[in-house]
Chains A and B, each alone.
Chain A
């Protein structure tokens, strides 16, 4: 069964090409079928391969052909399959399939139905290549491929230039990270002589000592790529804007799969990161800082998708924290559960937006509980999982992360405390969303509730968000063995109770109104903080001043080609001489004669002088 894995990315790719070619002529039913079934087929294949693998957990490698061979540089178009790959593939194809199905209803009335599914299928293919790649160069292909698909889908409604702006921002900001990553690839190949991930980590272990500078630099460069793609500080600014795309796209790309690519990359190259403890620490700190920053920001947003976007940034921060403290399995586990509940939340918000005339502002919603029951329950379960209430999937993964963070030898308790604060905030903002949107009085009437193509994915994802925590992911072989030690019991109790406290606070503030925070909010400091957090800590503003505007100004100055001015100078000098000489061409005979005579005299004098000297 294993030798069929190359079909998994190929089927969505072919479907995508077919959809592009036939975009003008295919009937909508066929388009939908093609789009959904290709991913469905990929999911089925993944399932079959996965069952095979679980029965006989033997990682394998498969080379289709040698991509290029120059000297000793010979990356292949080659796939590698192990437990980690399986988890990622399952998430991508499984959640991907549900989101495709959801999209058939969500995008029903869109003119560019075929283009949408073509891009979405292409994304799935690229993402699969990313996680299946055997070497970093092919991974980079998938990496850039998903970036392009994200760009295309964020700017899907291209007639609105704001969408284009957001799409370009997403691409360029991630490209900054990607370039760092490319440099990392160059460094790794130059130093280790291969880009095949498994072989490379082997060579690195032989060649480098723990704590060397080179692995640190290499890891930081790879981390650059990871923070770009996974929207972590300092390259996170693109993700909230990327919400300009259709909502299922946000669910698939900007919540469940692509943005977790950075987590995957670090987990995949764990052998390198283990050689650079400093890099690990930086990963943990970036994760923690991002998760807190984004949680505060999410608390202040009123656009339903922006809340979810910042929440995604925050949750990926947790994954980074997990990776940074060496809790590899917990990080990947959180990646998976997050894919379930965040896709659920995004799809739920998509349903709301779809039936509420494209309303994004949560304060214009309200009282949707009875009108849209399926959506309501999706949000309840999704938010519970996001807030990590006990027994939900998010609880299991986040709890593990927090406990392992506590055990981190250098700064464990501090990381844990930070994580707890994040968890508290998460609970508050996620239930703030629920209370504001679904309770209280209705402000806008929905057109109805979800049809089956929207409801089915929601229901399935509800199930996954509930029970996903009981899955056991087969990644034991991939990562180094965890220490198995446990922190004191009180740590665990505190970790469990904090989200509940958040829920309670949220209830008191946003639903029952027993806890009045108006005074706090309306104080001048409160107002300032509110604006500051709402703007995402002013980072966008800062980047605009440091990078964007200077670049515009620079290119504005250069538009007329300063170098050409130098050549222009040469031309001007020539023209001046030309002018002077042309002046002498008066047409007056007497001047010519005079100059001839003087010239003759000059020449004769010189000749006499020279011959005199010669004598």
Chain B
């Protein structure tokens, strides 16, 4: 295969970085929207790792899993946004920590 030949390790490093950024966001952000975005970043980090691995071994599996992750992410965003709306309605805020009671 001609063209750009990036070593697998570099891609995995980027993927790890992305994942860590997402996780950090998950931990330190209080706004639900940002938490959801962080989740997306983490999912995409995983997806990137799959694509890279699939390319490395010349297997289609990586891309298949990438498709799966895309759908999962879409579904997750749909449910997540629905919840965000509910939280917004109930607590009049998007602060995650204000929803720390088991019963509303």
Interface residues, chain A, CB within 8 Å of chain B?
Answer: 586-590, 593-594, 597
Interface residues in B56-104 by Cβ distance below 8 A to A read 96-97, 99-102
Interface residues in B14-31 by Cβ distance below 8 A to A read 23, 26-30
Instruction: Kindly provide the distance from the CB of A371 to the nearest chain B CB, expressed in whole angstroms.
Output: 93
With A and B bound together, what is the CA distance between A229 and B99 in angstroms? Answer: 81
Once the chains bind, are B97 and A588 in contact (CB under 8 Å)? yes
Once the chains bind, are B100 and A597 in contact (CB under 8 Å)? no
Once the chains bind, are B101 and A589 in contact (CB under 8 Å)? no
Once the chains bind, are A597 and B23 in contact (CB under 8 Å)? yes
Once the chains bind, are A589 and B23 in contact (CB under 8 Å)? no
Once the chains bind, are B102 and A590 in contact (CB under 8 Å)? no
Report the nearest B residue to A595, measured CB to CB.
B27
Report the nearest A residue to B32, measured CB to CB.
A589
Once the chains bind, are A590 and B96 in contact (CB under 8 Å)? yes
Q: Secondary structure at chain A's binding surface: helix, strand, loop or mixed? A: helix
Contact with A along B27-44 (1 / 0, CB 8 A): 111100001000000000
Once the chains bind, are A590 and B101 in contact (CB under 8 Å)? no
| Residues of chain A lying within 8 A (CB to CB) of residue B26 | 590, 593
Question: Taking each of B23, B99, B100, B101, which has the highest tally of chain A beta carbons within 10 Å of its own beta carbon?
Answer: B100
Top 7 A-B residue pairs of the complex, sorted by shortest distance between their CB atoms: A587-B100, A588-B100, A594-B27, A588-B97, A590-B27, A593-B26, A593-B27
22 A-B contacts (beta carbon < 8 Å): A586-B100, A587-B99, A587-B100, A587-B101, A588-B96, A588-B97, A588-B100, A589-B35, A589-B96, A589-B100, A590-B26, A590-B27, A590-B28, A590-B29, A590-B30, A590-B96, A590-B97, A593-B26, A593-B27, A594-B27, A597-B23, A597-B27
| Residues of chain B lying within 8 A (CB to CB) of residue A593 | 23, 26-27
Instruction: Kindly provide the distance from the CB of B90 to the nearest chain A CB, expressed in whole angstroms.
Output: 15
| Residues of chain B lying within 8 A (CB to CB) of residue A588 | 96-97, 100
Question: Taking each of A586, A588, A590, A597, which has the highest tally of chain B beta carbons within 10 Å of its own beta carbon?
Answer: A590
Interface size class of B (residues with CB under 8 A): 10 to 19
Instruction: Kindly provide the distance from the CB of B31 to the nearest chain A CB, expressed in whole angstroms.
Output: 11
Q: Secondary structure at chain B's binding surface: helix, strand, loop or mixed? A: helix
Instruction: Kindly provide the distance from the CB of A405 to the nearest chain B CB, expressed in whole angstroms.
Output: 93
Report the nearest B residue to A587, measured CB to CB.
B100
| Residues of chain B lying within 8 A (CB to CB) of residue A586 | 100
| Residues of chain A lying within 8 A (CB to CB) of residue B29 | 590
Instruction: Kindly provide the distance from the CB of A600 to the nearest chain B CB, expressed in whole angstroms.
Output: 10
With A and B bound together, what is the CA distance between A586 and B102 in angstroms? Answer: 10
| Residues of chain A lying within 8 A (CB to CB) of residue B27 | 590, 593-594, 597
| Residues of chain B lying within 8 A (CB to CB) of residue A590 | 26-30, 96-97
With A and B bound together, what is the CA distance between A323 and B63 in angstroms? Answer: 116
With A and B bound together, what is the CA distance between A470 and B62 in angstroms? Answer: 130
| Residues of chain B lying within 8 A (CB to CB) of residue A587 | 99-102
With A and B bound together, what is the CA distance between A590 and B25 in angstroms? Answer: 10
| Residues of chain B lying within 8 A (CB to CB) of residue A597 | 23, 27
Instruction: Kindly provide the distance from the CB of A540 to the nearest chain B CB, expressed in whole angstroms.
Output: 69
| Residues of chain A lying within 8 A (CB to CB) of residue B35 | 589
With A and B bound together, what is the CA distance between A588 and B102 in angstroms? Answer: 10
Instruction: Kindly provide the distance from the CB of B95 to the nearest chain A CB, expressed in whole angstroms.
Output: 11
With A and B bound together, what is the CA distance between A594 and B99 in angstroms? Answer: 17
With A and B bound together, what is the CA distance between A597 and B27 in angstroms? Answer: 9
Report the nearest A residue to B96, measured CB to CB.
A589
With A and B bound together, what is the CA distance between A480 and B23 in angstroms? Answer: 107
With A and B bound together, what is the CA distance between A588 and B23 in angstroms? Answer: 16
Given pairs A587-B100, A590-B97, A593-B27, 9 additional interface contacts (CB within 8 A): A587-B99, A587-B102, A588-B97, A589-B35, A590-B28, A593-B23, A593-B26, A597-B23, A597-B27
Contact with A along B3-19 (1 / 0, CB 8 A): 00000000000000000
| Residues of chain A lying within 8 A (CB to CB) of residue B96 | 588-590
| Residues of chain A lying within 8 A (CB to CB) of residue B30 | 590
With A and B bound together, what is the CA distance between A593 and B97 in angstroms? Answer: 13
| Residues of chain A lying within 8 A (CB to CB) of residue B99 | 587
Report the nearest A residue to B98, measured CB to CB.
A588
Instruction: Kindly provide the distance from the CB of B30 to the nearest chain A CB, expressed in whole angstroms.
Output: 7
With A and B bound together, what is the CA distance between A586 and B29 in angstroms? Answer: 17
Report the nearest A residue to B27, measured CB to CB.
A594
Report the nearest A residue to B97, measured CB to CB.
A588
With A and B bound together, what is the CA distance between A586 and B101 in angstroms? Answer: 8
Instruction: Kindly provide the distance from the CB of A586 to the nearest chain B CB, expressed in whole angstroms.
Output: 6
With A and B bound together, what is the CA distance between A589 and B29 in angstroms? Answer: 11
With A and B bound together, what is the CA distance between A597 and B23 in angstroms? Answer: 9
| Residues of chain B lying within 8 A (CB to CB) of residue A589 | 35, 96, 100
Report the nearest B residue to A589, measured CB to CB.
B96
Instruction: Kindly provide the distance from the CB of A186 to the nearest chain B CB, expressed in whole angstroms.
Output: 67
Instruction: Kindly provide the distance from the CB of A336 to the nearest chain B CB, expressed in whole angstroms.
Output: 90
With A and B bound together, what is the CA distance between A590 and B35 in angstroms? Answer: 10
With A and B bound together, what is the CA distance between A588 and B97 in angstroms? Answer: 6
With A and B bound together, what is the CA distance between A385 and B67 in angstroms? Answer: 126
Instruction: Kindly provide the distance from the CB of A149 to the nearest chain B CB, expressed in whole angstroms.
Output: 70
Instruction: Kindly provide the distance from the CB of B37 to the nearest chain A CB, expressed in whole angstroms.
Output: 15
With A and B bound together, what is the CA distance between A590 and B102 in angstroms? Answer: 15
Instruction: Kindly provide the distance from the CB of A585 to the nearest chain B CB, expressed in whole angstroms.
Output: 10
With A and B bound together, what is the CA distance between A142 and B27 in angstroms? Answer: 86
| Residues of chain A lying within 8 A (CB to CB) of residue B23 | 593, 597
| Residues of chain A lying within 8 A (CB to CB) of residue B97 | 588, 590
